[in-house]
Amino acid sequence: MTTPRDLLIVTLDVAPIRPLERGDLSLALAGAELIDLLGTDALTIEDERIVPGLCPPTGDRLLDEAAASLVRQPPHEPVGEWLWRRGRGLSSAYLDALEEAGQITRRRHGWLPLRAGQAVPVDSPARRHATDRWASDEPVLATLAAAIGIREEPAEDAAGAAGDATVTVLAAVNDAVMELEAERQRRAIEEAAYDNIWRGE
């Protein structure tokens, strides 16, 4: 199992403290990929830029795709830019991968048999691994979950135990999620103003 898969299973298992946005989840999954790739020496972070290293196969298709997508020519890509590029539609890709692997199922409605239902993790070693990691308050998983509203913020020094490069990625995920939320609010205000014009208010 990988951190992105653990994070996705947790989001399906745990009630969020605020509504979970798919775009936020995709950004967090991209960050989780970077953190796992840091652990395989596939990259390093220098001045908040991603410097690719060796890319040994990880055994996970999506993680291998992430490694292959790294910009290899200098100037290397900033972490924040990579999150936006890699994160596009990533939550759907991970949902599909978990479903193909039989790790989630779809809860269907009896009166809508042809409509895909809510994704639910099945009882499996993958789910137990994610649950154990969640229950232990593992810093990386806890911080990613806090960024997207699955839990309260962990202790300030929690992520620091993971290393400077990991902290850089976690901070970039948090910044990207906040930027996306600011954009949603801006659009909501613009749409409300537009509606008011048409109503003559």
Q: pLDDT, tens digit, for every residue of 4-34?
A: 999 999 999 998 888 889 999 999 999 999 9
pLDDT of residue 152: 85
What average pLDDT score do residues 167-192 get?
87
Instruction: Sort strands 43-46 and 49-52 into parallel, antiparallel or unpaired.
Output: antiparallel
C-alpha distances (whole Å) from 180 to each of 75, 84, 148, 191 are 25, 10, 11, 17
Q: State the DSSP H helix or E strand holding residue 119, giving kind and residue range, or none if neither.
A: strand 118-121
Calpha distance 8→102 (Å, rounded): 14
Q: pLDDT, tens digit, for every residue of 48-75?
A: 999 999 888 899 999 999 999 999 999 9
Q: Tell me the residue range of the domain where 176 lies.
A: 3-199
pLDDT of residue 98: 94
How many C-beta atoms lie closer than 10 Å to residue 175's C-beta?
Answer: 15
Contact in structure between 64 and 57 (CB atoms under 8 Å): yes
Calpha distance 118→107 (Å, rounded): 5
pLDDT of residue 200: 59
Calpha distance 188→192 (Å, rounded): 6
Q: pLDDT, tens digit, for every residue of 112-149?
A: 444 456 788 999 999 999 999 999 989 999 999 999 99
- Total domains in the chain come to 1
Contact in structure between 19 and 168 (CB atoms under 8 Å): no
User: Quick one: tokens of 188?
Assistant: 């909501």
How many C-beta atoms lie closer than 10 Å to residue 97's C-beta?
Answer: 17
Name residue 49's beta-bridge partners: 46, 78
CA 162, 165, 171, 175 torsion: positive or negative? negative
How many C-beta atoms lie closer than 10 Å to residue 85's C-beta?
Answer: 12
Instruction: Sort strands 104-107 and 49-52 into parallel, antiparallel or unpaired.
Output: unpaired
Output the average pLDDT for the chain: 87
